[in-house]
Amino acid sequence: MAKEKNKREKKAGQKLTLGAVILEPGSTRNYHTGAWRVYRPVLDNSKCVSCSNCWKVCPDAAIKRTPEGKFYIDYTYCKGCLLCLNECGVKAIVKEVEVK
């Protein structure tokens, strides 16, 4: 039973605490939702006018900014919902089929 539990915990990537309490804050960072993606949004910075529409609507906070203010997509967490593509007023974002 204990062995089985260890195996399960290893697979789940975390301790199976009573009541599923997660003891470390910010553990969601370890969950790479980018693996879910079917379509990959691609941002063309030469067209981007930095209006920040995509940044506001992204449900996963996966649109980020460099210190210089340039927007980019964090593919570790981007699930490929394409809301950014839909909301982009200057069509600076296109979609590509994710190939792994």
Partner 1 sequence: MKKVEESSIAVAIGAKLARVQVFPMYPITPSTHIQEQIAEYVNSGELEAELIDVESEHSALSAAVGAVAAGSRTFTATSSQGFALMFEVLPIASGMRLPIVMAVANRALSAPINIWNDHSDSVSARDQGWIQLYVESGQEALDTTIQAFKIAEDKNVLLPVMVNLDGFSLTHVFEEIDEPEQKEVDAFLPAYKPEHFLDVKNPKTFGPIAFPDSYMEFKKQQQDAMIKSLETIKKVNSEFAKKFGRPYGNGLIDTYKMADAKFAIIAMGTVCGTARVVVDELRKKGKKAGLIKLRCLRPFPTEDLLRATKGLKALGVIDRHVSLGFEGPLFADLKAVLNSNLKMAGFIAGLGGRDVSMKHLHKVFSEIEKAKPKGSWLL
Q: Which residues of 54-66 are buried (b: 16+ CB within 10 A; e: fewer)?
A: bbeebebebbeee
Among 2, 3, 6, 27, binds partner 1 (CB under 8 A): 27
Confirm or reject binding of residue 2 to partner 1 (CB under 8 A): no
**Residue 79: Cβ within 10 Å count:** 17
Confirm or reject binding of residue 59 to partner 1 (CB under 8 A): no
Q: Which helix (H) or strand (E) holds 74?
A: none
Among 2, 3, 18, 91, binds partner 1 (CB under 8 A): 18
Strand partners, 71: 65
Confirm or reject binding of residue 21 to partner 1 (CB under 8 A): yes
Contact residues: partner 1, CB under 8 A: 5, 8, 11-12, 16-25, 27
